[in-house]
Structure 1
Amino acid sequence: MDAASGSADRGTTERVLTLLGLLQQRRVWTGPQLADRLGVTPRTVRRDVERLRALGYPVHAGQGVGGGYRLAPGQELPPLLLDDEEAIATVVSLLAGAGGAGAGDAALRALTKLDRVLPARLRDEVRALSGSVKSFDAGRAAVAPEVLMTLARACRDEVEAGFDYPSGSEVRRRRVEPYRLVASDRRWYLLAFDLDRHDWRSFRVDRMTGVSARTWRFRPRAAPEAAAYVQEGVASRVYTHRARFLVRASADTVRAQIPASAAVVRRRGTELCEVVTGAENLDFVLMHVLLLSHDFEVLDPPELGRRCNELAQRLLRAGAAMPPEQDTEKP
């Protein structure tokens, strides 16, 4: 390809991108209006519209009064064209969502995609603006967006990460292969392979300090399913006592009654489910399962079944001690 043809191709590409931006700005453009804005003939506009259609953009052409070119919603999401101001606004909004309360991990996934293509000239402005965005809802533990982005990049690029993390009364440096960030209703967690302990671990992101990503790449291992692993750890593995119940209700019904961070609910047919949870006190676990108002059986541990019988006897004695109700109805 000679210099002239290369320059022509770049000119065509820039013009088609400009056309796409115009179609995204307002509902309908006539052919002459687009030709005037682009400085080309209506025939060139028609050719450029066909190029956009070939790329997956559904550009519709209407005839007569009120007709013109219109960008319609498509079956699939094609590439989205953003100018500098739109890109900054999008990234700042996603940063606020990812680091604040009520956020889902979809915001973080979108951020990592934008982070790959965001021009360097915009990064300082994004950082300055994101620092001015706060949330009044304190439902989720606060995490700096920069920390989430550092960990998300490390997961995406498959590079080792390091951070200081409390262990008992000490704070130790952890070296990990990061795999996934998982959002719960209250916190962010990182699923990672701990290089010093040679095992999988989940870490609370709000407890991390000194978070950094290294340039050392790792070969991905066969990893557990991230959300399930983190949920089971949060709901049961971190507690002194781990309990399993067979509940006589559908899994969907029980999931609506118990927060995901409090228990793992596994389907056991249409009208049965298994509930796995944990606590520091077995009475606390029993109280919460009892308040679900469904019949249940204790599967594990054995001492929990014995505790059920002890409490049942105590309740029966308490009920038997009540004086009989007096008949107050007059003849």
Structure 2
Amino acid sequence: MIDVTRPTARVLALLELLQGGGTHTAAGLAERLGVDERTVRRYVDHLADLEVPVEAVRGRYGGYRLAPGFRMPPLMLTDEEALAVLLGLVAGQRTGSIAMSAEATGSAAAKVRRVLPKALAARLDALFASTAFTAPEREMPAPEAAVMLRLAEATRQRRPAAISYRDRTGRPSRRTLHPYGLVAHSGRWYVTGPDSASGETRTFRLDRIEQVQLVAGTFTVPAGFEPADTVLTSLAGTPWRYEVVIAIRGRAEEVTARLPRGIATVEPDHDGWVLARLRAERLDWLPAVLAGVGMPFVVREPTELRELIRAWASRLTGCATATSPAQALDAWKTE
């Protein structure tokens, strides 16, 4: 059922259904819109008042349809504006940077294409047909659009929001959140702010929020609060299987810049060294990250990481001295 609550929104939703093509029965439209059949007929009259040609088809398989040949007027965008809209939709869908379903982004792009002038649409189609996009490493769960929009409204209006949330173990909870800001990071969306359950500033994944309801009251965001920094710090501090502590020779800002953003917290140690702290479920990806930092380091914990680094370095050395594919494959074998 289409989630619309106001008459105007339902009239537009009716037009959207009819634009999908075919003949729709009054009963079917009423069910999709959440109204009765008499109201559907009234909405059809509204569309007629707007000069949208809706035809009534009589008979056993009758209903309503748009008149053949009806098209929405061309969308008046410059070439650059049209490119910006479609590139954002298509690239976001193919790279996973838009946290919406493929169906939603694909249908939105198709609708924009349909109302573009033919010459411009053809040029844009040629661009996308000849452009390659790298795929995301893994598919990210998409948050509900209604959740995102209601939290954005609460953030802008400084209104508390009651949310239904499921944590990483699937345990449900109900809490009231002061949403200080929304943050998009690595294909996921987060909201951060103090919540009623703990009284502390927390970070929540939007795809785990099932319902949002704005409640009475207002709040003030502390001066200098940076939602993105708070989310990254929170992610770095999430409890995982391994507690990793690495001493690195270098300045804190330099080490932070060389580490992937948001994976670790960096703090001064002594004598020109800093401590990088992070948590992880697996350790096998860390040797390459530490090598990429390009600075002397000492593994404080866990001891398992030292053995992984030794084995990784041994494989690299073997490949560096290999003179044939067979030797390289043999060098890369794990014990």
Shorter-chain TM range is 0.3 to 0.5
Of the two, which has the highest radius of gyration?
1
TM-score, length basis structure 1 = 0.46
TM-score, length basis structure 2 = 0.46
